Amino acid sequence: MKVGIMGFGKTGRAVATVLLDSKRTNLQWVIRRSHLLEHRSVPEFLGIYSDEPGLIYTKDEFTASELLDQHPVDAIIDFSSVSGLGYYAEEAAARGIIVISAVSQYPDEQLARLRELAERTTVMHSPNITLGINFLIIAAKILKNIAPFTDIEIIEEHFKTKPEVSGCKTPRPRSSRPTTNPGGSSGKPDPRHA
């Protein structure tokens, strides 16, 4: 399966590593907003031997149509930002490309666009990556049963320096009612919601 990645932050790099190590996937490209690392090889940058092209391009180098004509893929994995969907959505749907989005905090209009996109192609959206990690854990257990000598490692990280708010770090409504903690009722408001 040929795969393209939108976004090359910590999670995008981790997924690129997994794709490059897999015999079932072939990393074709990574799209970034930044010109840093432009036209570099992802395997070379990550220090992984691979025959896969995995070149890094900037978002403004190609239209989505040009990118997918010149470097076709079966799936796009999106770790970019809210604006990433606008770049590739229509072309992905028109071509039947699978879309996997781990972008947090889509506004309502973008969520509606994802639902519309799902009527035309396969879409998986996990705004809180923990849901995705749980899916991967189940998939890893199944793979372990099929191939018992497979070495599988799943690492979940939270990025305190990530500029946008993550799905798992969404501010919760303030509460002034007493809460119960594992040691019993404190009778005080929960400081996490203060």
Q: Which pLDDT score, from 0 to 100, does residue 154 have?
A: 63
Structural domains in the chain plus CATH codes = 2-127 (3.40.50.720)
Sequence-separated (6 or more) residues with CB below 8 Å from residue 152? 140, 143, 144
pLDDT for the residue numbered 57:
95
pLDDT, position 185: 37
Residue 61 to residue 42: CA distance in whole angstroms: 17
Q: Global pTM?
A: 0.68
The one-character DSSP state at 131 is H
Q: What pLDDT, on the 0 to 100 scale, is given for residue 128?
A: 60
Q: What is the DSSP string of 2-38?
A: EEEEE--SHHHHHHHHHHHH-SS-EEEEEEESS-TTT
3-state secondary structure of 163: coil
> Residue 119: what pLDDT?
94
How far apart, in whole angstroms, are the C-alpha atoms of residue 177 and residue 190?
8
Question: Can you give the pLDDT of all 194 residues of the chain as single tens digits?
Answer: 999 999 998 888 888 998 898 888 999 999 998 888 888 889 999 999 888 889 999 999 999 999 999 999 999 999 888 888 999 999 999 999 999 998 878 889 999 999 999 999 999 887 665 556 666 766 777 777 777 777 777 665 655 555 555 444 443 333 333 333 333 333 444 344 44
